[in-house]
């Protein structure tokens, strides 16, 4: 359900596009009219609009993590970065990685008067010097997948340490790169594992509605996430609790280098990428980002499998304590999401089974009644059946069960009718094949 945007570059500065030249028919006049027409076509506006991919990009940029946009040619990666820089008021420096030599990133050796004493300094290129002079900016490394392995090796310090030769880029410089998959890149290469592991990988795809509305002149606006000051300590504590807790339970995921060359060029788990995931989790928590945006970021940092496992771990962390629910069933706060609600109810039943007593058993039924009052009844069938099986012979059935009996019975009948209908459909299909 992820989507993103094709974002055009802002219209170039010039005459008011509404002022159209009239009169004259010479070549110069016609070219001027052509320029006016192009200006009108390039004049667009932006609007705030939910866009998960764009929100994930801006949040990663705010977190000062290098981002790599993957997408097919013509999907709008370059235009998105141009609009992002304009929206964030950051000077944009575009460097086409594939047309540069390794020395353009590692620095050119300059021999001085006494190299034996002073050494040979590595002079940085002009684009790096201009970034330092500006003190801030967005460094856009384009066509990364067509850069040779030697150039990729030279980019390692640029991406991670922000050093170009002997020059240190200022903290106000953010780094975003773009690449085409090897199959669609011009003379493409797979990314080296050390370089790939330094990026948060986001996969850029087009959204039909965004494209249609954008070609009509209105594109989504890139905005930095709104961090809530009061939530910053809580966000850091949550991230530092969640990621180390997950890795303690799944230590084999701390470092797992993929076996294939293609997957090594994407996101995969390492201590470095887990640190990035923890940073992104803190930023997403402080900005109250949606689960979809968090999923894009976490999977982009450590890969799909480990990222999804971390998300499941976060869900379990968010579940209410079953003992708290049993202590005060009447005011129990249950998750809204169906899967989390069912998991919470199953945890309550498991807690009763671990330390069964008449009082706890009755409290378990009271929690199920509370769930009936605040959510869908079909989620109660499984937990109610297990809770009923825990009854001792000398325990009287609480009155609360009567409130559940009819609803649970109807839900069970509905499930059985669906199963019967599916079985009849399968039978008819088998008969038809015969």
Q: Using DSSP, state whether 123 is helix, strand or coil.
A: strand
Residues 6+ apart with CB under 8 A from 315: 339, 340, 343
CA 374 to chain centroid:
31
* Phi, psi for residue 178 in degrees, rounded to 5: -140, 150
pLDDT at 18: 46
Q: What separation in angstroms does the CA of 387 have from each of 241, 373, 392? A: 32, 18, 11
Task: Indicate the fold that domain 27-109+121-220 takes in CATH.
Answer: Rossmann fold (3.40.50)
Structure tokens that stand for 10 in this block: 């802002």
DSSP 288-343: T--HHHHHHHHHHHH-HHHHHHHHHHHHHHHSPPHHHHHH-GGG----SSHHHHHH
SS3 content of the chain, % helix, strand, coil (to 5): 60, 10, 30
Place of tokens 């981002």: 67
116, 77, 100, 58: which is closest to 296 by C-alpha?
58
List the pLDDT tens digit at each of the 434 positions of the chain: 444 444 454 544 444 544 555 555 677 788 999 999 999 998 888 888 888 998 999 999 999 999 999 988 888 888 788 888 888 888 999 999 888 888 888 877 776 666 666 666 777 888 899 999 999 999 999 988 888 889 999 999 999 889 988 889 999 899 999 998 876 655 668 889 999 999 999 998 888 888 888 888 888 887 888 888 999 999 999 999 999 999 998 999 999 999 988 899 999 999 999 999 999 999 999 999 999 999 999 999 999 999 999 999 998 887 888 898 999 988 888 888 888 888 889 889 999 999 999 999 989 988 988 888 887 777 888 888 888 888 888 888 787 777 777 666 544 544 444 444 455 555 554 554 55
Q: Where are the domains of the chain?
A: 27-109+121-220, 229-318, 322-433
Angle between helix 338-354 and 358-374 (nearest 10):
170
Query: Residue 90, SS3?
Result: coil
Residue of 125, 130, 135, 138 whose CA lies nearest to 170:
135
CA atoms within 13 A on the CB side of 214: 22
Residue 423 pLDDT: 56
Which helix or strand (DSSP H or E) is residue 46 part of? Answer: strand 45-47
The C-alpha torsion from 283 through 288 and 290 to 295, rounded to 10°, is 20
* Residue 318 contacts residue 335 (beta carbons within 8 Å): yes
Residues in Cβ contact with 35 at an 8 Å cutoff, skipping those fewer than 6 apart? 14
Q: How far apart are CA 49 and CA 54, in angstroms?
A: 10
Backbone angles phi, psi at 12, to 5 degrees: -65, 150
Q: What is the CA radius of gyration of the chain?
A: 29
Q: At what angle do helices 271-286 and 291-302 cross, to 10 degrees?
A: 170
Taking the model in full, what pTM does it have?
0.74
Answer yes or no: are the C-beta atoms of 363 and 328 closer than 8 Å.
no
| pLDDT at position 321 | 86
Please check whether residue 330 is in contact with residue 370, taking contact to mean a CB–CB distance below 8 angstroms: yes
Instruction: Say which DSSP state 252 is in.
Output: G
Q: How many residues does the chain have?
A: 434
User: So what's the pLDDT on residue 107?
Assistant: 77
């Amino acid at each position: 359900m992820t989507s993103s945007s094709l974002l055009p570059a802002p219209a170039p500065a010039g005459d008011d596009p509404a002022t159209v030249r009239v009169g004259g028919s010479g070549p110069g006049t016609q070219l001027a009219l052509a320029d006016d027409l192009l200006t009108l076509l390039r004049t667009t506006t932006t609007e705030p609009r939910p866009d998960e991919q764009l929100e994930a990009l801006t949040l990663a940029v705010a977190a000062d993590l290098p981002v790599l946009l993957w997408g097919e040619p013509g999907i709008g990666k370059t235009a998105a970065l141009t609009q992002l820089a304009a929206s964030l008021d950051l000077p944009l420096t575009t460097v086409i990685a594939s047309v540069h030599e390794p020395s353009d990133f590692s620095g050119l050796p300059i021999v001085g008067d006494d190299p034996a004493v002073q050494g040979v300094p590595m002079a940085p290129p002009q684009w790096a010097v201009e970034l330092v002079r500006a003190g801030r900016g967005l460094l856009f490394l384009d066509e990364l997948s067509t850069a040779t392995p030697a150039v990729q090796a030279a980019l390692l310090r640029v991406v991670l340490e922000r050093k170009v030769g002997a020059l240190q880029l200022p903290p106000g410089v953010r780094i975003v790169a773009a690449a085409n998959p090897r199959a669609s890149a011009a003379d493409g290469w797979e990314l080296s594992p050390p370089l790939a592991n330094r990026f948060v990988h986001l996969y850029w795809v087009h959204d039909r509605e965004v494209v249609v509305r954008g070609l009509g002149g209105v594109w989504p606006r890139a905005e930095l996430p709104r961090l809530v000051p009061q939530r910053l300590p809580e966000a850091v504590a949550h991230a530092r609790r969640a990621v180390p807790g997950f890795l303690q339970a799944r230590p084999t995921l701390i470092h797992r280098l993929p076996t294939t060359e293609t997957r090594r060029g994407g996101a995969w788990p390492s201590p470095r990428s887990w640190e990035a995931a923890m940073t992104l989790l803190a930023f997403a928590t402080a900005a109250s980002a949606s689960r979809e945006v968090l999923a894009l970021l976490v999977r982009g940092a450590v890969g799909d499998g480990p990222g999804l496992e971390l998300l499941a771990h976060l869900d379990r962390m968010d579940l209410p304590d079953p003992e708290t629910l049993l202590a005060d069933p009447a005011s129990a706060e249950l998750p809204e999401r169906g899967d989390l609600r069912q998991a919470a109810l199953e945890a309550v039943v498991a807690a009763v089974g671990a330390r069964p007593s008449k009082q706890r058993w009755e409290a378990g039924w009271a929690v199920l009644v509370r769930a009936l009052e605040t959510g869908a009844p079909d989620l109660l069938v499984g937990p109610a059946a297990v809770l009923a099986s825990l009854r001792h012979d000398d325990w009287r059935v609480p009155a609360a069960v009567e409130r559940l009996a009819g609803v649970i019975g109807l839900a069970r009948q509905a499930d059985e009718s669906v199963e019967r209908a599916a079985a009849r459909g399968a039978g008819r299909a088998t008969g038809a094949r015969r």
